[in-house]
A and B are shown apart, each in its own frame.
Chain A
């Protein structure tokens, strides 16, 4: 399974996001679309501004390196 996915799940379970694989660089990490909510049509509301303080690139990369 994707290391990025695993690392995020370890650091913050149930996080929802949309990304282009593989996430191996900070540049690609900064393109991840984080799901912050839903609209009235149950469509994901997303942002590329990371709203999760525990999911910095440094923390995610460190967790990925352990896998």
Chain B
């Protein structure tokens, strides 16, 4: 192996004057393992569909187009990976009620299995005097670190409900919802 001695202020072209494999830390590629905590990939999705309405007091899917559930997927590269899930949702509830409590739930599906619950948040409004027309806009931030233990596609969506069928829930009313999924090395 020939060695070249570099003098002060001299440089060497790594691309043309060096053979062999560079360490990944020096810009080489082909790493097969990563330190825990490193972000390996990220997926984002924005939902601007504001034409859905519901009076359902049981969970229904937030849609991204007429009749299409808003689903966002990521496929982990290793079973040891974790998935950091970040959702921001925007919902308006409108109705002539004394109280409305509106739930937003984050659910996960692994491969072709059924969805399972991860976490949820509650919003809404209460008028102490009597029923009256209320239209609260509520922003929900749902964050969850999942350990799906799989290399199959992991799919996420939001489900909504209202506490009263006298309330109409309108997702993305004049605003939008966002999702970011990150695979974190385990």
A18 touches B117 (CB 8 A): no
Give the contacting residue for A17; candidates B55, B66, B95, B170; CB below 8 A. Answer: B55
Which of B34-42, B56-64, B140-148 sits within the interface? B56-64
Chain A positions within 8 Å of B60 at CB level? 18, 33, 35, 43-44, 46
B53 within 8 A of partner (CB): yes
CB–CB B56/A44 < 8 A:
yes
A–B Cβ pairs within 8 angstroms, 15 of them: A1-B133, A2-B53, A14-B166, A16-B57, A17-B55, A18-B52, A19-B53, A20-B52, A31-B66, A35-B57, A35-B58, A41-B59, A41-B117, A43-B58, A44-B60
Q: Is the C-beta of B51 less than 8 angstroms from some C-beta in chain A?
A: yes
- Per the 8 Å Cβ criterion, residues 24-82 of B in contact with A are 51-60, 66-67
The count of chain B contact residues (Cβ–Cβ below 8 Å) is: 23
Residues on B lying within 8 angstroms of A by beta carbon are 51-60, 66-67, 94-95, 115, 117, 133, 159, 161, 165-166, 168, 170
* A interface bracket (residues with beta carbon within 8 Å of B): 20 to 34
CB of B60, distance to nearest CB on chain A (Å): 5
* B58–A21 CB distance below 8 A: no
* Interchain CB contact under 8 A, A1 and B168: yes
A46 to B57, CA, bound (A): 12
Q: In the complex, what's the smallest C-beta–C-beta distance from A31 to chain B, in angstroms?
A: 7
A42 CB contact (under 8 Å) in B55, B58, B133: B58
